[in-house]
């Protein structure tokens, strides 16, 4: 039995928002793969739930007239893997979705829950950082758009106020069209393990020049991070093996990994540097640059 | 607990319609085992790591230990108990028997449901060993070393 005191099923998004406001101690549950684990472990603060599990309104992947790709927060990882839009335009997000848990988890875990849970290891988070994703957050009478890089306030803490629900993740055409990406997850086991380090790269190439470069990490700090200094230093440089080495040296200054029972800080740093090369190379290969 | 502690759910279990009045705190696994006496699905870890509790909900493979029982309302649940039809094992079950893919059997009901989901999705298609492994990455087995399970799944896919 889960230690639940109250459970209210929301009939639609607006109902869920109203219920969150009426029940200030309640939390949302979507796929429950984080919430129910916390309840199992006796964690406090989850005994009142507003249930948005399976709300069709939040489950979609589409492209609008301006070519923005819109992903509903209630979309499960299996939907992302199967989506033709994602396969065609953002294969790196498929990589990331494939790397989450096992089939049973991917069938119920939502991308919105993955982000809102606020952990640095969330496989979708680092990818969305490198894609400059924008989050649409709704409450009664107000909608906010937040760049994902501003959303993480600290470990397990995201910029959601009482009564706010993440509805949509937007990826703008500038950030995916003509871009090539790769998500590299390093974990101790090939499957069913959370990332020791996750590295997402998204880039554009013009005449063998790195025209745009975005690199983000999970578990390289208390929250997912972008390596902005590195990005600045290598943009508009000619694509060579030396450039890959430069990237791997520069990223070390942009990150702040920690020691945990999974891995030491030093080991993580090693992986961070190595993955920058591997992920960049894979993304370059996808862009048709043979290195 | 408040007076809202119990709720009626209507769902189908292995093809039969059922109405139950359940405690909102229960997992689907608890309802299957304790209310319906369907003890095929097992509790291994209780936290989504081992797949011993795997069942199909509207033909989607889930870990029933981290699935609220109230979510089953209006859905069709399939468990290992419903896989043999008229006393005849399903093709997946037969393949497990033939390949000796069962030792202590604790993981088997969950594995069979994962294999069933995989073979139904990939009917008539050729699949790689890697795809089979990935499709069973959410299931743990402490006995067999997986090799015979792999062979059993290959066999279940054969036309
Ligand atoms: C065995 C196992 C393996 C796993 N492996 C991985 C892995 O490899 N990689 C990985 O990244 N993760 C992994 N996870 C965690 C992953 O399943 C979750 O992070 C999942 O994506 C969360 O989604 P959910 O729908 O289950 O969220 P829930 O558990 O329902 O919710 C998570 C949090 O987000 C909040 N929330 C949910 N939806 C919204 C919304 N729309 N608006 C605002 N807040 C919301 C909830 O209130 C809660 O605080 C694993 C989990 C398990 C149990
Ligand atoms: S008992 Fe459900 S996954 Fe282990
Ligand atoms: S047969 Fe014993 S755990 Fe798999």
For residue A168, the Cα-to-chain-centroid distance in whole angstroms is 13
Nearest CA in chain A to B2: A5
Of the candidates A163, A66, A166, A164, the residue with the CA atom closest to the CA atom of residue A115: A166
**Which CATH number goes with the domain that contains B46?**
3.10.20.30
Same domain, B20 and B71: yes
Q: Return the ligand 1 atom nearest residue A74 CA.
A: 41
pLDDT digits (tens, 9 = 90+) for A230-243: 999 999 999 999 99
Question: What is the mean predicted confidence (pLDDT) over A46-67?
Answer: 97
Question: Which numbered atom of ligand 1 lies nearest the CA of A73?
Answer: 41
Tens digit of each residue's pLDDT (9 = 90 or more) over B17-64: 999 999 999 999 999 999 999 999 999 999 999 999 999 999 999 999
Contact call for B24 and A7, based on CB within 8 A: yes
- β-bridge pairing A209-218 and A225-226: antiparallel
pTM of the model: 0.97
As beta bridge partners, residue A143 has A138
Residues of chain A with CATH 3.30.43: 6-51
Nearest to B80 by CA among B47, B45, B56: B56
Q: Are strands A165-171 and A180-186 parallel, antiparallel or unpaired?
A: unpaired
Where does chain A hold its CATH 3.30.465.10 domain(s)?
59-173
Instruction: Indicate if B26 and B70 belong to the same structural domain.
Output: yes
Q: Identify whether the C-beta of residue A153 lies closer than 8 Å to the C-beta of residue A225.
A: no
Tens of pLDDT, residues A70-80? 999 999 999 99
Is residue B66 within 8 A of residue A107, CB to CB? The reply is no
Is B4 near chain A, with CB under 8 Å? yes
Superfamily of domain A181-286: CO dehydrogenase flavoprotein, C-terminal domain (3.30.390.50)
Q: Which of the listed residues B53, B99, B103 should we mutate to test ligand 3's pocket, taking the one with most ligand atoms within 8 A of CB?
A: B103
Confidence label for A226 from pLDDT (cuts 50, 70 and 90):
very high
Are B14 and B73 members of one domain? yes
**Sheet with B76-78, side-by-side order of all strands:** B16-23, B6-13, B76-78, B54-57, B60-63
Residue of A22, A79, A81, A102 best to disrupt the B interface, most CBs of B under 10 A: A102
In this prediction, residue A190 carries a pLDDT of: 78
With a CB-CB cutoff of 8 Å, which residues 190-209 of chain A face chain B? 190-192
CATH number at B148 reads: 1.10.150.120
Let me know the angle formed at the C-alpha of A152 by A146 and A157, rounded to the nearest 5 degrees. Answer: 120
What's the pLDDT at B4?
65
CB-CB: which of B27, B62, B70 is closest to A104?
A: B62
pLDDT at A202 over 60: yes
The answer for residues whose C-beta is within 8 angstroms of residue B155's C-beta and 6 or more apart is B95, B98, B99
For ligand 3, the distance from its centroid to the CA atom of residue B117, given in whole angstroms, is 19
Per-residue pLDDT of B5-14, as tens digits, reads: 999 999 999 9
Residue B63 and residue B12 share a domain = yes
3 state DSSP class of A162: coil
Which numeric CATH code is attached to A6-51?
3.30.43
Please report, to the nearest 10 degrees, the dihedral formed by the alpha carbons of residues A153, A156, A159, A163 taken in order: -160
Q: What is the pLDDT of residues B100-134, one digit of tens each?
A: 999 999 999 999 999 999 999 998 889 999 999 99
What does chain A come to in residues? 291
Q: Which atom of ligand 1 approaches the CA of A105 most closely?
A: 17
- Taking 70 as the threshold, does the pLDDT of residue B3 lie above it? no
pLDDT of B1 > 50? The answer is no
Q: Cβ of B68 and A2 within 8 Å?
A: yes
Tell me if A244 sits within 8 A of A291, measured CB to CB.
yes
pLDDT in tens, A87-139: 999 999 999 999 999 999 999 999 999 999 999 999 999 999 999 999 999 99
CA distance A277 to A239: 12
CA-based nearest distance B133→chain A, Å: 10
Looking at the 3D structure of chain B, how many domains does it have?
2
Q: Are β-strands A69-72 and A165-171 bridged in parallel, bridged antiparallel, or unpaired?
A: antiparallel
Dist. CA B134–CA B136, nearest whole Å: 5
> Residues A191-213: what's their mean pLDDT?
94
The boundaries of the domain holding residue B114 are 91-157
CB–CB contact A104 B30 (8 Å) = no
Do A206 and A284 meet the contact criterion of CB atoms below 8 Å apart?
Answer: no
What number is the ipTM of this complex?
Answer: 0.97
pLDDT in tens, B63-106: 999 999 999 999 999 999 999 999 999 999 999 999 999 999 99
Residue A174: per-residue pLDDT = 97
Residues of each domain in chain A carrying CATH 3.30.390.50: 181-286
Please report the pLDDT score of residue A205 as a whole number: 97
**Which fold would CATH assign to domain A59-173?**
3.30.465
B43–A contact, CB cutoff 8 A? no
CB contact under 8 A, B48 and A37: yes
Domain boundary among B82, B101, B124: B82
What pLDDT is stored for residue A261 in this prediction?
A: 86
- Residue B2: the pLDDT is 46
Mean pLDDT (chain A) is: 96
In angstroms, rounded to a whole number, what is the distance separating the alpha carbons of residues B82 and B76? Answer: 12
Domain boundary among B82, B103, B120: B82
Please, which residues bridge with residue A215 across strands?
Answer: A201
3-state secondary structure of A18: helix
**CA B30/CA B32 separation, integer angstroms:** 5
- The two three-digit tokens of residue A173, written as one number: 């055409």
């Amino acid at each position: 039995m889960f230690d639940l005191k109250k459970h209210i099923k929301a009939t639609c998004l607006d109902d869920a928002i109203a219920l969150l406001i009426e029940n200030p101690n309640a939390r949302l549950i979507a796929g429950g793969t984080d919430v129910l684990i916390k309840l199992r472990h006796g964690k406090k603060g989850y005994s009142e739930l507003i249930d948005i599990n399976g709300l069709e309104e939040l489950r979609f992947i589409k492209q609008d007239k301006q070519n923005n790709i819109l992903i509903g927060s209630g979309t499960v990882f299996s939907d992302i893997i199967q989506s033709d839009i994602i396969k065609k335009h953002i294969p790196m997000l498929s990589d990331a979705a494939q790397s989450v848990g096992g089939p049973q988890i991917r069938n119920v875990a939502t991308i919105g829950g993955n982000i809102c849970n606020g952990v640095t290891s969330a496989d979708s988070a680092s990818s969305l950082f490198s894609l400059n994703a924008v989050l649409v957050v709704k409450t009664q009478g107000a909608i906010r758009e937040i760049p994902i890089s501003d959303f993480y306030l600290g470990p397990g803490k995201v910029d959601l106020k009482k009564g706010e629900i993440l509805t949509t993740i937007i990826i703008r055409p500038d950030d995916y069209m003509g871009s090539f990406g790769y998500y590299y997850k390093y974990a101790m086991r090939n499957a069913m393990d959370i990332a020791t380090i996750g590295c997402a790269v998204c880039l554009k190439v013009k005449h063998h020049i790195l025209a745009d470069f975005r690199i983000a990490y999970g578990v390289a700090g208390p929250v997912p991070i972008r390596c902005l200094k590195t990005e600045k230093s290598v943009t508009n440089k000619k694509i060579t093996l030396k450039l890959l080495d430069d990237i791997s040296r520069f990223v070390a200054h942009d990150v702040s990994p920690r020691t945990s029972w999974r891995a030491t800080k030093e080991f993580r740093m090693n992986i961070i540097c190595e993955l920058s090369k591997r992920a960049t190379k894979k993304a370059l290969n996808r862009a048709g640059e043979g290195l | 607990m408040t007076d809202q502690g119990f709720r009626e759910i209507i769902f189908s279990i292995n093809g039969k319609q059922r109405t139950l009045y359940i405690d909102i705190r229960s997992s689907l696994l608890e309802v299957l085992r304790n209310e319906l006496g369907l003890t095929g699905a097992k509790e291994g870890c209780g936290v989504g790591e081992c797949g011993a509790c795997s069942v199909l909900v509207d033909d989607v493979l889930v870990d029933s230990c981290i699935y609220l029982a109230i979510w089953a309302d209006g859905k069709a649940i399939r468990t290992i108990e419903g896989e043999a039809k008229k006393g005849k094992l399903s093709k997946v079950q037969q393949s497990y028997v033939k390949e000796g893919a069962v030792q202590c059997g604790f993981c088997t009901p969950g594995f069979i449901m994962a294999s069933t989901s995989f073979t139904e999705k990939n009917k008539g298609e050729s699949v790689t060993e890697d795809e089979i492994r990935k499709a069973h990455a959410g299931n743990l087995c402490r006995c067999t070393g997986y090799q015979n399970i792999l062979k059993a799944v290959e066999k279940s896919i054969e036309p």
